[in-house]
Amino acid sequence: MSRRKSGFFEVPITHIPRWLRDRSADTIVFRVSKILMTALLLVGVIGVGIFFGSSRGDKPIIPVPNLPLASVTSPQPPMPSAPQSKVMLDTDVYQLKNIIHDHTDQEATRLFSQYVTKWLKITGEVDNLEPWNQGWLLYIVLPPRGDKDLLVEVLRFSGAWRDRLADLPHGQRIVALCQIGSEVGVPLLLENCELVGGHR
């Protein structure tokens, strides 16, 4: 049996694969290197696939809630509030005048406060009309009651009433609805007035 020396010991030639015996040393080294590189590349590809697969599997899945249509659409403008109804008084101008005449200023102011911003119906005859600020002042004469003399009250109207007030002749009987202002005095502060009857 022939032997080939290899370093410190001899290896029988029959134990060396034939493809190694038939190739030069450079070719053998190249083949071995190619096999090792291919193996390392395959291992790297498998490792990268496992890494990305595990990373993707670890991410939690966040469910997307089914939002109602109203929550994703533009907000709707608020509905306009209904106009506040007028709070009417069961009293009349004469009773309000008595509060002023029969009490001190401090007492009248305190007693009169419960009527402020409420509405009062008043009837009288047209005496005069004149412009005021951006509105109109309508002077009316109220008939005497008992021992009371004639009363002259001033009704404040907005400028929107100009045409209807201008048609009122002197002495015309009118019925107006007015809001009581916060000032206590004679004449009364009757504002935001509206004609409700007795006019043409």
Domain-located, residue 105: yes
Structural domain for 45, as ranges: 3-58
pLDDT (0 to 100) of residue 105: 86
pLDDT of residue 89 exceeding 60, the answer is yes
pLDDT (0 to 100) of residue 8: 45
One domain for residues 97 and 188: yes
One domain for residues 43 and 111: no
pLDDT (0 to 100) of residue 18: 57
Return d(Cα 148, Cα 188) in angstroms, integer.
16
Determine which helix (DSSP H) or strand (DSSP E) holds 4, and give its type and residue range.
Answer: strand 3-6
Domain-located, residue 76: no
Give the residue among 156, 126, 121, 129 at the shortest CA–CA distance from 140.
126
Span 105-154, pLDDT tens digits: 889 888 888 888 999 999 999 999 999 888 999 999 988 776 666 778 89
| Domain count along the chain | 2
pLDDT (0 to 100) of residue 54: 55
Lowest mean pLDDT among 81-95, 99-113, 115-129, 182-196: 81-95
Instruction: Tell me which DSSP letter residue 198 carries.
Output: S
pLDDT (0 to 100) of residue 108: 85
Return d(Cα 180, Cα 188) in angstroms, integer.
8
Domain-located, residue 186: yes
One domain for residues 109 and 171: yes
pLDDT (0 to 100) of residue 2: 47
One domain for residues 186 and 113: yes
Mean pLDDT of 58-86: 56
State percent of the chain over pLDDT 70: 57
One domain for residues 50 and 102: no
pLDDT (0 to 100) of residue 125: 95
pLDDT (0 to 100) of residue 76: 59
One domain for residues 99 and 174: yes
Mean pLDDT of 32-57: 66
Higher pLDDT: 24 or 181? It is: 181
One domain for residues 105 and 169: yes
When pLDDT is cut at 50, 70 and 90, the band that residue 9 belongs to is: very low
Q: 12, 43, 58 — which closes off a domain? A: 58
One domain for residues 156 and 111: yes
Q: Is 60 left (phi over 0), alpha (psi -120 to 50) or beta?
A: beta
One domain for residues 107 and 24: no
